[in-house]
Structure 1
Amino acid sequence: MAQDPGEQLLLEDATDHHDTLLHHLVTEHGKSDLRAAFFNMSNSILGAGIVGIPRAFRNAGLLTGLVLLALLAVVNDWTLRMIIVNTKLSGAKTYTGFVSHAYGDLGKTAILLAQGLFGFGGNVGFAVIIGDTIPHVLRSVFARQVESFRVVDFLLARNTLIVLCITGISFPLSLTKDIGRLAKASGIALVSMSVILLIVVFRGPAMPADVRGQVSGAGWFVEPGIFQSISVISFALVCHHNTTFIYDSIKKPTLDRFNRVTHVACALSGVVCGVMGVSGYLAFGPKTKGNVLNNFPSDDWVVNVARLCFGLNMLTTYPLELYVVRAVVRDLLEIYHRREIPELSTAQHLLITSVLAGVPMLVALFTCNLGAILELVGATSASLLAFILPPLCFLKLTKMKPLGEKIPLYLCIAFGLCVMVLSSTQTILSALRSTDDDHCVV
């Protein structure tokens, strides 16, 4: 059924609130040159998912992992540029806007769920990372006290510190309604990623033989966990929900200028992920864990520097993601009630924030399997954001496109659906067969 133009306009206007929140995570007010736009996109891509890339190579095999990474970087580049084309075709300004324009309330609900689940799943992973980093650093620093005093041992235990860190730091930060303050608090992200990369590259080969593992046989070429590998790589590369804001931040934004930014950012991100994947997998082989830092001993002070940087970064990134997910919940409530909700009430704000902060924390108390979390988020929301919705909307917005030009779009959609189903199934079965000790710090 055709949608009334006035109703469609209201629907598109309603998407601005959620996307404006994302805008603050990507760019400052005003315009930036191509170098700054490239930095914004690279910083948006290279996040916590990078520590899972060695495990992705372990799941797929070294050669297959490299091929998949290269192919996904190219597809990522293509669909990022397709998002901007979709905004031009629809007249919308945002990702949410053009999906809503193409598919109405159903499309808006789909994109909101994809963005919300991506952020929520990311926070589950961040909570696990907090438990895999900060406790081991503190227990190493206060090793004697941990052995001598049961109270210190309890206070510095993994689950205790997860609860203390999230309820005492991340949750209060999440209650703020000024996202600008949160964005400033996350400035150590790039530094921590750089430190982690250097440590894996140079410290991994120096680990003792009993910690390391040897790549052999099929491990050099192809392993059966290909779709799980695709999910983790997809999670690491996805920044599609930020694309329109990076485009708008460019001085004299044009498709050609944006394409240059996208090509370089995707190529660089692919190279960085490749270095991390090859270095980590060659160092630890079949022992490679979902968080490659967990392969290093808990008392290695060099690695503990990286763990501390990474854990602190997660403490401030956690409320950033929660802020966006909370906005998604508000927008979904608008769709359900069929009316605009300018602002959540104080009780709603507190309740929703508590649930969104508490559930990921509870999950992290029972697992340190970061790989499975990255795989599930990558298989579901990342596939929707990167492989399914952009070509699906492009097909809708260009109805007269020749069949030959539609084939790559249909293939991309089919690929995303296959990843969603097969990878999720593989991940669940693999998680049921493995024990949590397979993924925790040695």
Structure 2
Amino acid sequence: MKYKYLSLIFCLFSVVSVKAQLTDSLASFSLKEAIDYAQNHQTSVLNATIDEEIAKNTVKQTIGIGLPQVNGNVNFQDFLKVPTNLLPGEFFGQPGTQVPVQFGVQYQSSFGLELNQLLFDGSYLVGLQASKTFKELSNKNLKRSRIETAVAVTKAYYSVLVSNEQLSLLDANMARLKKSLNDTEALFKNGFVEKIDVDRLTVLNNNLETERGNVIRLLELNVNLLKFQMGMNIQFKLALKDSIGSLQVEESIAVRDTTAYQNRIEYSLLETQKKLNELDLKRYKSLFLPSLSAFGSTSRSLQSNEFLSLMDRSFPTTVIGFRLSVPLISGGIKTYQVRNAKLEVLKTENNLVNLRNGINLEVEQAQTVYRNGLKSLENQKRNMELAQEVLRVTKIKYEQGVGSSIEVTTAETSLKESQNNYINALYDLLINKVNVDRALGKIVY
């Protein structure tokens, strides 16, 4: 018993050790690697893959309806009281009376095989076509899940990159401001500046430290969001291989594309849904047709008043035949089913027109927003560079005694504001680029 507990404790320590190694290990991903990882681990993709397998099995299940159906049966009966019937006494020379007579034996048993084969059924033929279209629909659903996962991972990845860039700018600001604060404190000790000059820079430094802490927490949240979109355990450590500098921003995008809807998986899904609705209409129409099937059965009946001699006497039976079912009157049910199916097809056609117009509008909006974002990013980048130059000149004037500390703190504030505007414009541009690619149907997985 002692060794048993020791073995159990060892196993528990082993599990904890392995889990700790997985948690402490650092995984590094590029954007493409992160998307590829998500395609194999994201729950929505995994469930869509399962749905595709279910659709394949459904097709085979439908095909099986038209294959031979064979059933075996065994029956055993013990008549504790054999049924009794009354017969006219004339049969037994007793006119005017009724004589009780028992028919059958106490023990009866039978066993046999039944075969059914569908020869013609219009709804079955349509069902075969519909099952294949349903399989196609599930395949496209999987594709849509893969695309949506790629979009979500890309946006989350860009969020982490932008947060890293924002943190780098803050670190550079803090290093520069810390040097200015130290220099100003030295000047104050020597009586060259007033204490209020030190206080102004101290306030700026404190604000930067607070903002840096907020950005670090936001960065951690964005990393966890990226892990979630990838289907990765939140406890694992994740690093990014790509950087803002490695991203290529297109300065021009394609002109208005009125055929982009043909590349969108949503439009393709709706087209497949239209096929299913048309097949549903065809199925309801086929219900007016007769169905034909063949059947056959063979069995052997055993009867005896003695259980031990039940197998001594047997009586075989074999039958084959055809069964034709012709629908005659259904109370108008089938007629209204056909009418409703036609209306469903019409609704799908309307939805296709609406989706086509919606996608064209989405493309135009995404391209317009992207162009505006590109101009905004260029402008904010110039503003940031100008704010850096203004701060540099202001500090030189201050150090030479021809400028004031208020000008320095104002320049520091303007630089921080321009950097925040640049970060926001950069993030918006990256997200808008993903939206443009998605609208044009360029994201394919």
Q: TM-score, normalised by structure 1?
A: 0.27
Q: Which has the higher contact order (CA 8 A, sep 6+)?
A: 1
By percentage of residues, which structure has more helix? 1
Greater C-alpha radius of gyration: 2
More strand by share: 2
